[in-house]
Amino acid sequence: MLAVEISSFGAPDVLRPVERPKPQAGNGEVVIRVEASGVSRADIMQRKGKYPPPAGAPDIPGLDIAGTVDSIGAGVAQWKSGDKVCAVVAGGGYAEYCAAPAVQVLPVPDGWSMVETATLPENLFTVYDNLVTRANLKSGETVLIHGGTSGIGSMGIMLCRAWGATPIATARSSKKCEACLRLGAEHAINYNEQDFVAEVKRLTGGRGVDVIADLVGGSYLARNLDALATEGRLAIIAIQGGRTAELDITKLMIKRARVIGSTMRARTPAQKGEIAGRLSQDIWPLLPKKDPIRPIIDSTYPLRDARLAHERMEEGQHIGKIVLVA
């Protein structure tokens, strides 16, 4: 089968189309013929040698896929060959075939194409788990979402609307701020021209936001704490701005705030299966109408041109998900 491997750590041109053996379905697994695969920031980090796959995962990048069940392993009863599905995986998505634990697989929503469906798995698993499960987001609360036009950010805006919460987004330019508003953000803050803490305080009458979805990490920690309301929750999803920072513990205590951190990739199939079950119940019934959660696709590239997709992501101008098509 055609796959894209990381020949060495470095720039996008280290991504190399190769022939690899087709994976076999192990116990509790399905093999999916991949028709579309999402590109994520985690893939970029893996290519640079900064985010190695967990033990036992393929060295091929790619964390979310959409396609057709090709074969099933022992113990799988909920899927059959020919089913149209998507899945979050620990690796292997940049290939024509990919094995996935059956519990991490969900059906292609009615009315969604494979390319559209490839925007869902990693984004929804991550955003739902962090905002709803871990930060206990409630209807009527206000959420600050950093990087509102990224795949994670755009999904965060839409999920907030689906949950009855009010999203405020940050972005790097006026063009991206406009895109955030089209996605459903109540307000958008250009962080290159405005202090997002001051803007949050202004927009919330000095109260702050109930929840923050943060892709930046270290360099934003102190300001995120300033932007939180009393009883606020900060969910750190990525660390693009650094791994460490100084924390004012007194301020954390006074606000009775919580700082939550998590990653998705290394979790067990059983843990990811629990999230899949919640998504199936809470989110999947909303998807056929494509409102408020809809496919936000920046661009598509042939699988063998994955390096171009990585170049596009690293330019920082994309809005929504970048997708590879097999």
Residue 304 near residue 103 (C-beta atoms within 8 A): no
CATH architecture of 124-261: 3-Layer(aba) Sandwich (3.40)
The confidence score (pLDDT) of residue 174 equals 96
Structure tokens at 131: 């905002």
Relative orientation angle of helices 151-163 and 174-183, to the nearest 10 degrees: 40
Please report the sign of the dihedral spanned by the C-alpha atoms of residue 202, residue 206, residue 207, residue 208. Answer: positive
Q: Among residues 217, 196, 187, 225, which one has the least CA distance to residue 41? A: 217
CATH 3.40.50.720-classified regions of the chain: 124-261
The confidence score (pLDDT) of residue 198 equals 98
Report the DSSP pairing between strands 29-39 and 84-88. unpaired
Ranges of the chain with pLDDT below 50: none
| pTM of the complete model | 0.95
Homologous superfamily in CATH for domain 2-120+266-325: Medium-chain alcohol dehydrogenases, catalytic domain (3.90.180.10)
Over residues 155-210, the pLDDT tens digits come to 999 999 999 999 999 999 999 999 999 999 999 999 999 999 999 999 999 999 99
Residue 87 near residue 64 (C-beta atoms within 8 A): yes
Residue 297 near residue 323 (C-beta atoms within 8 A): yes
Tokens 């190695």 -> residue: 52
The confidence score (pLDDT) of residue 278 equals 98
CATH 3.90.180.10-classified regions of the chain: 2-120+266-325
What span, in angstroms and rounded, lies between the C-alpha atoms of 24 and 146? 39
Residue 290 near residue 111 (C-beta atoms within 8 A): yes
The confidence score (pLDDT) of residue 2 equals 98
User: H helices of 113-245, where?
Assistant: 114-117, 121-127, 151-163, 174-183, 196-203, 221-227
Residue 203 near residue 170 (C-beta atoms within 8 A): no
For 74-88, give the DSSP string: TT--S--TT-EEEEE
